[in-house]
Structure 1
Amino acid sequence: MQDTEIFLSMKKEIEAESQKEIDAIMAEVKAMEDEAMVSMQKEAKKDADLRLKQELDDIQSQASQEISETHTQRTKALIAKRDEYVKTIFDAAREKLVAFTTTPEYGEYLSRKAKAASEEDMSEPVLMIRSEDLHYVDMIKENYGKDLQVEETSDITIGGFILKDQVTSVVVDETLEFALENQRGWFAAHSGLMIK
């Protein structure tokens, strides 16, 4: 019987020792699991933070691109609207100039311009004028005060004249279209329709 008790005592001792080893191994496994969990959580947070940063950068980049595109489209629309206004204004001015060429004041205008042009030093001046204004040639010659060769031209579409010296190539452009085109530059600078 004593052998049985010794055997049972040894068995209990072996089981107790085995349980201690099992407990130690389980504690070590638990510690390793906890460490692995903390490491995975840190890695997952790092990945999530990186993805979040990339998504925020993408959103910011896309927003900047959309803002830039919207600004470009707005600017194009404003330029188109401005050009439409300028065209309307200058078309109306052109119509008024065409109407002006049918008034008595137009003849006075040509006289004044011929007198002013006579101050240019030209040895062989040629008067270029549209066919509709040929009846003003004698008056222009009289106000110019010098002999002029006359050429009819279709280059002048509204009215006025061009004096050109065949020797020096000096040109005096007194056409209404030239005056209108000069006003386009002034208008662009002073109209307040600049787009930035």
Structure 2
Amino acid sequence: MEQEKLAENLVKAIQTQSQERLMNLQIDYESQRQETIEKFRVEAQEEANVFSEMALSELRNSLIQNESQSKWKVKKDLFIRRAELVDGLFIKVKQELIDFTKTSEYKDFVKASLERILSENTASGATILVKATDQKLFETLSDQRVTVMVSDRIHIGGFILKDKAGLMEIDESLDYTLKVQKEWFTTHSQLDF
């Protein structure tokens, strides 16, 4: 009986010790499990942060690129519109100049210009280039020192005086004047966008 009690106490001691070890193992397992979970959570959070930063950076770059493209398109559209406005304006001016060439004021204008240019350039043998419809007018206005010839360089009116050697040219054509004014207007109109 004593041996039975001893055996029973021994079994109880072993069971108690086993229970304590099992409990310690469970506590240790749970602790390691929590540490592993926390470690994975921290790593996952760091990876998510890196991914978020990369995604935000790509989004920022995309937005900047889209904004830049939008600004470029707006600027391009404004330049096209400016060119249309300037071209439209100078088409009207060209038509007004063409209408002017059909008036008596045009005859007075070219007569004064021709007299001024011929008085400043006294060399003989010069050639005056004019448009076809102005040939007779310039033949009556010019003196014998110059020859009047038709040129396809003049479409609106006026004239170009070339010296005999062809080294000097004075362009008094309305075509050239209109071109110069258009360039000046485009440069100085402050229609820059």
Q: State the TM-score, normalizing by the size of structure 1.
A: 0.92
The gaps in structure 1 that reach 5 residues or longer are none
- Cα deviation for residue 139 of structure 1 reads 4.3
Find the residue that maps to 1:151 and give its secondary structure.
strand
Which segment drifts farther, 40-49 or 91-100?
Answer: 40-49
* In structure 1, distance between residues paired with 2:129 and 2:150: 6
Query: How far, CA to CA, are the matches of 1:181 and 1:127 in structure 2?
Result: 20
Equivalent residues in 2 for 1:133-148, closer than 5 Å: 133-142=134-143, 147-148=145-146
1:179 aligns with 2:180: no
How far is the alpha carbon of 1:37 from its aligned partner? 1.3
Superposed structure 1 runs of 4+ greater than 6 Å apart: none
How many residues are treated as equivalent by the alignment?
A: 192
SS in 2 for 1:160: coil
**Corresponding letter in the other structure for 2:136:** H
Residue range with higher mean Cα deviation, 79-88 or 159-168: 159-168
- Aligned Cα root-mean-square deviation (Å): 1.5
Amino acid at match of 1:154: D
Matches of 1:2 and 1:132, distance apart in 2: 148
Residue in 1 that maps onto 2:133: 132
Q: CA deviation at 1:138?
A: 3.6
Q: What is the distance in 2 between the residues matched to 1:122 and 1:184?
A: 32
Q: Distance in 2 between matches of 1:58 and 1:122?
A: 74
**How many angstroms does 1:152 deviate by?**
1.3
2:105 maps to a residue whose letter is E
Matched, 1:29 2:14: no
Matched, 1:170 2:168: yes
TM-score (norm 2): 0.93
| Contact 1:122 1:168 survives alignment (8 Å) | no
Alignment partner of 1:158: what SS?
coil
1:166 Cα shift? 3.1
Rounded Cα–Cα distance in structure 2 between residues aligned with 1:60 and 1:74: 21
User: SS where residue 128 of structure 1 aligns?
Assistant: strand
Q: Secondary structure at the match of 1:108?
A: helix
1:159 to 157, 162, 166: 157
Compared CA separation, residues 170 and 122, structure 1 to 2 (3 A) = farther
